[in-house]
Structure 1
Amino acid sequence: MRTVGVEEELLLVDAESGDPRALSTAVLALAERRAEGDSVFESELHDQQLEFATEPRGRMEDLAEEIRRWRAEAAHSAAEAGAAVAALATSPMPVSPSIGGDERYRWLAQRFGLTAQEQLTCGCHVHVSVESDEEGVAVLDRVRPWLPVLLALSANSPFWQGQDTSYDSYRSRVWGRWPSAGPVDLFGSAERYHEQVRALVGTGVLRDEGMIYFDARLSHRYPTVEFRVADVCLDPADTVLLATLARGLVETAARAWRAGDPPDPVPVTVLRMAAWQAARSGMEGQLLHPLTMRPEPAADVAQALLAHVGDALEDSEDIGPADKALRAVLTRGTGARAQRELLEGSDSLRTVVTECAARTRG
């Protein structure tokens, strides 16, 4: 069975006001002390966020348990530092982000200016194991049309600098300012994939392979396909659903490759339309159906994704839990709807943040 690992980025906020707090150094030090030097937490581009990564897991129950455990640990360490953590993909409150002190982050700030300065966004990255780079690139070529559906299911960033953006995932619009971000053309082979990566790095615009910000890519650190398209989810159950669907997509694509089925040559320009639509309305309106690239109700498109990976999920015994989790999202909505409902009930973005921090803490 393919293993799955998750990286989640969390927002550090004031427990009372909801304002982002530049306390990552203090929180990381406390987390390391609590873990006796073996912490899973890392810094990110801005001092108002931190990241954790799970172990590769074969069972989704184990992945779910670990995600909840590290969210709780992050909350404990943040509380010791006088703050809280919130699984929000953007800050609802106005913020002037501060770049971290790492030399790499300082280079990004100098190179990319306001794009880096404003990039206080929190994503969720899902790693799924592959047997080789050749298999991995075959997967990348075949999952492209389905990635906007994962974005819609994760949408959790309706607010930016104190106002409603009218998008469910505004994080993805901000993230798209990086020069290497977004959907990509078909590669056809691992050799051509690596040629393109070398060409991009060779331009001098990017610092290194770590700045290949495709919506999905071969990890430069692990033998995995890394899905980078999603917002961090407010509900950890949604993170597990994303991981389940991602593993299903990888296995389904690998089987199609081995059977000799070619990938769908959807143009990048059309994929950008699909990604924009997913960011705009999330699961609340219409999405472009990956098989036709025509608008259909988001719930129907999500069910089509589940059907697409159904055989793979049957074999991994994930189909029942995935169906239940998807129905839950379709009923209660994503984090974007939850945030807007909290604002409607309180008329206060501060309440939105503090309540989301409480949900993150569990």
Structure 2
Amino acid sequence: MANAPAAAAVVEALAADVREQSRMEFRHSMIEMVTPVCASLDEAGAHLLRHRRAVADAARTVGVCLVAVGATPVAEPEMTVTGNPRYKAIAEHYGRIVDDPAVCGCHVHVGVPDRELAVQVGNHLRPWLPVLQALTVNSPVHAGTDTGHASWRAMQLDRWPGLGPSPWLASADDLDRTVAVAVASGIMLDESLVLWHARPSAVYPTVEVRVADVCPTAADALLLTGLVRALVATAIDDIAAGRFAPPITDHAVRAAHWNAAHQGLTDTLLDVRQERARPAWDLVADLAGTIGPALDRSGDRPVVEAGLARLRAEGTGTDRQRRVLADVGDVASMLAAASRWTVDG
């Protein structure tokens, strides 16, 4: 079994309106799907499910399957990058670091009025991003075997120097200085490669959260979207009230992210506010309590609470993959199951 370098053919097979929202990514086996700007979770969910089902149908017409997993569990026969000049420049600059197989994430943008506020929002998000990561792990298998990590995607991306935990930043000017140092050192090829777990978008008036593996179902992606939107709204409330982001060391944040990528929700997570390990679902409960007023204000509480209850009952994408592997014992069956989950509502 292997990843199929068929993304170009699949994109070509899409209806024009879906093709406008779909594009080639870094590897020839990857497709990125993008929703338009949405005002509600219902609207976002409808776009997510429609895009996934349309791309899955197009994939079948060219003899392949669409599977939403964070890192490929099988071989990647075509390791060249796609034709985007930016991707070619990245490959030339970073050399053998780019040789890992495909990885796929889920990125959520939330509108923020100005760049200065977006930087402050990022500081407030830092304690909660490892919890979001643990909720969305979906890549335990690599080269046909269980890696022992809940998110192998995160482990692969740790080799990239410009990725990883978001730093604490004093201001937009501080962001610019930090990025300039990274570009001068070569850690970042240019200013566009600010690929932290959360960042002010360089293109849109948004904060972009990019810590999650691609979600196994559209419902899981919608849960992530609701959590991120409520976290951003809560951060804006805290900033308006003069409540500062808690002081958290970079070492603790990095340790918490590794813990989340390794464990998912199966054991403990590092609570960076207290610098101690706690049961994972206790931290999820803290997160839900923190964003409760924002969920009520947006009307998103029913969707988020139902999503968390479903996740607790069914497990993360990693948990689901491991159950199939334990029951059936082969990666092909696991991928067949994941392909069905990909188009679930």
TM-score, normalised relative to structure 1:
0.91
Contact 2:248 2:272 in 1 (8 A): no
Partner of 2:156: 174
- Report the more deviating stretch, 241-250 or 184-193: 184-193
Counterpart of 2:337, as a letter, is E
Specify the SS of the correspondent of 2:126. Answer: helix
**Corresponding residue of 2:62:** 81
Aligned positions of 1:28-67 closer than 5 A: 28-31=11-14, 34-35=15-16, 39-67=20-48
C-alpha distance after superposition, 1:128-176 (max 9, x if no partner)? 0000011101100111011000000000000111111111111111112
User: Aligned ranges for residues 1-362 of structure 1 at < 5 Å?
Assistant: 17=1, 19-31=2-14, 34-35=15-16, 39-98=20-79, 99-362=81-344
Contact in 1 for aligned 2:122/2:166 (Cα 8 Å): no
Mapped to 2, the partners of 1:243 and 1:330 lie a distance apart of: 17
The whole-number CA distance in structure 2 between the counterparts of 1:100 and 1:38 is: 17
Q: 1:361 to 1:327 in 2, by over 3 A?
A: closer
For 2:108, the aligned partner's letter is V
Letter in 2 for 1:89: G
Percent identity for Structure 1 against Structure 2: 32
* One-letter identity of the residue aligned with 1:178: W
Structure 1 residue 197: deviation in Å? 1.9
| Structure 1 residue 279, shift from structure 2 partner | 0.5
* CA deviation string 1:316-360 (max 9, x = no partner): 111122112111111110000110111112111011112211221
Q: How far apart in 2 are the matches of 1:69 and 1:184?
A: 32
How far apart in 2 are the matches of 1:325 and 1:354?
23
Partner of 1:9: none
- SS of 1:22's equivalent in the other structure is coil
TM-score, normalized by length of structure 2? Answer: 0.95
Cα offsets for 1:60-97 (capped at 9, x unmatched): 01111110000011111111221111011111223344
CA deviation vs aligned residue, 1:227-250 (integer Å, no higher than 9, x gap):
010000102211111111101111
Work out whether residues 201 and 208 of structure 1, in 8 Å CA contact, stay in contact via their aligned partners in 2. Answer: yes
Deviation digits for residues 246-278 of structure 1 (CA, Å, limit 9, x no counterpart):
011111111111111111110111101100110
Q: Which residue of 2 aligns with 1:12?
A: none
Q: Which segment drifts farther, 117-126 or 194-203?
A: 194-203
Alpha-carbon distance between aligned partners in 2 of 1:357 and 1:45, rounded to the nearest angstrom: 21
Query: How far does residue 106 in structure 1 lie from its aligned partner after superposition?
Result: 2.0
Measured in 2, the distance between the counterparts of 1:307 and 1:37 equals 37
Distance across 1 between alignment mates of 2:320 and 2:270: 23
CA distance in 2, matches of 1:147, 1:108: 26
Q: Across the two proteins, how many residue pairs are aligned to each other?
A: 343
Structure 2 Cα separation of the partners of residues 290 and 317 of structure 1: 29
Structure 1 CA distance for aligned equivalents of residues 299 and 195 of structure 2: 32
Amino acid aligned to 1:361: V
Output the CA distance in 2 between the equivalents of 1:136 and 1:28. Answer: 33
Classify the secondary structure of the residue corresponding to 1:156: coil
Cα displacement string for residues 267-295 of structure 1 (whole angstroms, at most 9, x for unaligned residues) = 11110110011011101111112431311
- Displacement of 1:119 in angstroms is 4.6
Three-state SS of the structure 2 residue aligned to 1:89 is coil
**CA-atom RMSD, angstroms?**
1.5
Q: 2:72, 2:101 within 8 Å by CA — same for their partners in 1? A: no
Aligned counterpart, 1:3 = none
Which amino acid counterpart does residue 58 of structure 2 have in structure 1?
S
Tell me, in whole angstroms, the C-alpha distance in 2 between the residues paired with 1:275 and 1:286: 12
1:163 to 1:69, Cα distance in 2 relative to 1, 3 A? same
Q: What is the CA-CA distance between 1:205 and the residue it aligns to? A: 4.1
Determine if contact 2:8/2:28 at 8 Å carries over to the other structure. yes
Cα distance in 1 between the residues matched to 2:334 and 2:71: 12
Distance in 2 of aligned mates of 1:262 and 1:37: 42
SS in 2 for 1:185: coil
- Report the alpha carbon displacement of residue 125 of structure 1 after superposing the two structures with TM: 0.4
Contact in 2 for aligned 1:40/1:53 (Cα 8 Å) = yes
Contact 2:76 2:101 in 1 (8 A): no
Q: 3-state DSSP class of the match of 2:273?
A: coil
- Contact kept, 8 Å, 1:148 with 1:278, in 2: the verdict is yes
Runs of 5+ consecutive residues of structure 1 not aligned to the other structure: 1-16
Q: 1:117 to 1:183 in 2, by over 3 A?
A: same
Give 1:36 shift: 6.0
Counterparts of 1:288 and 1:307 in 2: how far apart (Å)? Answer: 18
